[in-house]
Every structure is written in C-alpha cells, then in structure tokens.
C-alpha cells in the first residue's frame, strides 16, 4: 500500500474480486464491522449488490484500497429508493481519506440514480465509521439494542441514514 498518493474511485469489476473480498474479510476479522463471520464468494457478493453502485478506491498501481456498495432493503415498490450500504477500507489505507472518497462517490452515484435514502447499521464501538458517516451528512436514527449475537455476545447496532436533499 502506498502512503501518500490519493485514491482513484472507479467502478468495481470482477477483476477486483479477490482484493475486495480480502478487504471484506479483514473487516470481519476486526470484529466491529459486521455480523458476518466469513466473506462470501464473489458470486454471492455480486448477486447481492446493485451493479451501478459498487465502487473501489485504487492506488496508482491499481491495488484496491477500499470498496463501497449498496444493496436494496426491500423489493416493495415503496422502498425502491432506499438502499443499505457498506464501506470497507484496507487497514493499511485507513486515515487517508479513502473511506470519505468512497462514501462521497457512493452518495453521488445513488442520488444520480434517484435513490433517496442510504442507510446502514454500525456497531457503536466502530466510532471511526460513525464519525465518517456523520461528516458525510448521515444522521443517527436510533440504536437497535441487542439486535443480534456476534462472537458470543449480544450486540447493538446504530442505525444511520442519509436522506437525499436532491431526490424527492
């Protein structure tokens, strides 16, 4: 990983799969990113996320520094403009603006497509992610207390959302 070069944001492609899934697994292994215990295979990952809103941050050597993607929250028409998102950054690239660049690009992408709400559930211990989302205009909707078991204990999740000022 490079230390100073800015990241270039690009669409996520199948050739990024191995690096994307490695970064996902590193986030899982950290313990405060997701309830998942193992990154899925590429086919499962690919099928669950909207193709038009999957992004990677690349360094000058085209190595993936991080990724962001959205998934629909429901197949009901009323929720057509509501998505759940994820942002993951390689541990060696954290603190360099990669997460902010990805989240800003993801917001622009979703707004351009007419999506009016982007939401996520974040463990309260993941203060870095909560601060990132606050800077990007997300608000805390509430805390879902003891919503699921993770690593042998009940975990809370902070529900955050960003309502587009441009759509609707």
Structural domains of the chain, with CATH? 8-119 (3.40.630.30)
| Integer Cα distance of 33 and 140 in angstroms | 17
CA distance 39 to 28: 8
Give the residue carrying structure tokens 């974040």: 122
For residues 45 and 20, the answer to whether their CB atoms sit within 8 Å is: yes
Whether the Cβ atoms of residue 120 and residue 35 lie closer than 8 Å to each other: no
List pLDDT tens digits, range 29-58.
Answer: 988 888 898 999 999 999 999 999 999 999
Kindly give the confidence (pLDDT) of every residue in the chain, 168 residues in length, as a single tens digit, with 9 standing for 90 and above. 445 557 899 999 999 999 999 999 999 998 888 889 899 999 999 999 999 999 999 999 999 999 999 999 999 999 999 999 999 999 999 999 999 999 999 999 999 999 999 999 999 999 999 999 999 999 999 999 999 999 899 999 999 999 999 887
pTM of the shown model: 0.92
Tokens 């799969």 found at: 17
State the Cα–Cα distance between residues 121 and 74, nearest whole angstrom. 15
What pLDDT was estimated at residue 162? 98
């Amino acid at each position: 990983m490079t230390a100073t070069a800015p990241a270039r944001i690009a669409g996520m492609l199948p050739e990024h799969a191995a690096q994307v899934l490695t970064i996902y697994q590193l986030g899982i292994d950290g313990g405060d990113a997701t309830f998942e215990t193992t990154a899925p295979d590429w086919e499962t990952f690919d099928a669950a996320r909207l193709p038009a809103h999957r992004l990677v941050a690349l360094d000058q050597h085209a190595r993936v520094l991080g990724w962001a993607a959205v998934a629909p929250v429901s197949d009901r028409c009323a929720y057509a403009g509501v998505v759940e998102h994820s942002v993951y950054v390689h541990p060696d690239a954290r603190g360099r603006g990669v997460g902010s660049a990805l989240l800003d690009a993801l917001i622009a992408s979703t707004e351009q497509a007419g999506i009016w709400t982007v939401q996520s559930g974040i463990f309260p211990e993941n203060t870095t992610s909560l601060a990132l989302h606050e800077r990007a205009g997300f608000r805390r909707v509430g805390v879902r207390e003891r919503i699921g078991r993770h690593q042998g204990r009940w975990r809370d999740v902070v529900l955050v959302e960003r309502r587009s000022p441009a759509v609707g």
